[in-house]
Chain A
Amino acid sequence: GQSLEQPSEVTAVEGAIVQINCTYQTSGFYGLSWYQQHDGGAPTFLSYNGLDGLEETGRFSSFLSRSDSYGYLLLQELQMKDSASYFCAVNSNYQLIWGAGTKLIIKP
């Protein structure tokens, strides 16, 4: 079957750094995407890794290791507005296969 595993919930303090891990098992892999979703909102694209290594976009970075079927999203200098759910998703054959999402709770 196809599956992505990520923690259901992560708690961190404002200003801190948090890492959200994702492991996957899918057929057809072109890359790993990360999306942010606030309650009631649409998924918003954050980052994409097609090759192994680190991609940096402002306060957000994402890492991929294809040999380990593993990736992570790193959020730095956390702000209260970063409180949301974060989804990893595999870019597969003309579709995204989604993880269940990680709810990030940020405390002041």
Chain B
Amino acid sequence: EPEVTQTPSHQVTQMGQEVILRCVPISNHLYFYWYRQILGQKVEFLVSFYNNEISEKSEIFDDQFSVERPDGSNFTLKIRSTKLEDSAMYFCASSLQGTDTQYFGPGTRLTVL
């Protein structure tokens, strides 16, 4: 069964450093998403991406964040200058259509020191 994959599973970084989180969505899906979940809290939407453009983004997704589909399979989230409060689980998801069921990857745990 096709699944969303994410790398790395755990990323530790120093405050102010840049990180890139990687995702490989399900191959025939057209819409891609990033969510984050701070420990013990609910899942929060960051951004959706379709046809090489951002479809929607939340207030959390400010200028320090960017997304890219550098090739036909990868979808990345870049955090330019990490802050302590960026520490969270980051989940990538994909769907066939923009309102369809979204399938999630296993997540990347980001720890900012």
Which residue in A30, A42, A87 is a CB contact (below 8 Å) of B105?
A: A42
Are A93 and B101 CB-contacts (below 8 A) given A42-B106, A87-B43, A99-B42?
Answer: no
- B-contacting residues, A64-106, CB 8 Å: 87, 89, 91, 93-101
Inter-chain contacts of B106 with A (CB < 8 A):
41-42
Asked if A61 is at the interface of the complex by the 8 Å CB criterion, the answer is no
Asked if A24 is at the interface of the complex by the 8 Å CB criterion, the answer is no
CB–CB B50/A94 < 8 A: yes
CB–CB B43/A45 < 8 A: no
Interface residues of A: mostly helix, strand, loop or mixed? strand
B12 to chain A, nearest CB (A): 17
Asked if B7 is at the interface of the complex by the 8 Å CB criterion, the answer is no
Number of A residues, CB within 8 Å of B: 22
Interface residues of B: mostly helix, strand, loop or mixed? strand
Per the bound structure, the CA–CA distance linking A11 and B93 in Å amounts to 30
For B41, B101, B106, B107, which residue has the most chain A Cβ atoms within 10 angstroms?
B101
Inter-chain contacts of B31 with A (CB < 8 A):
94
Inter-chain contacts of B48 with A (CB < 8 A):
94-95
Are A42 and B104 CB-contacts (below 8 A) given A91-B99, A95-B33?
Answer: yes
Inter-chain contacts of B56 with A (CB < 8 A):
93-95
Q: What are 16 A-to-B residue pairs whose CB atoms are below 8 Å?
A: A42-B91, A42-B107, A44-B104, A45-B104, A48-B101, A91-B101, A93-B55, A93-B56, A94-B50, A94-B55, A95-B33, A95-B48, A95-B58, A96-B45, A98-B45, A99-B42
B-side residues, CB < 8 A to A, are 31, 33, 35, 41-45, 48, 50, 55-56, 58, 91, 93, 98-107
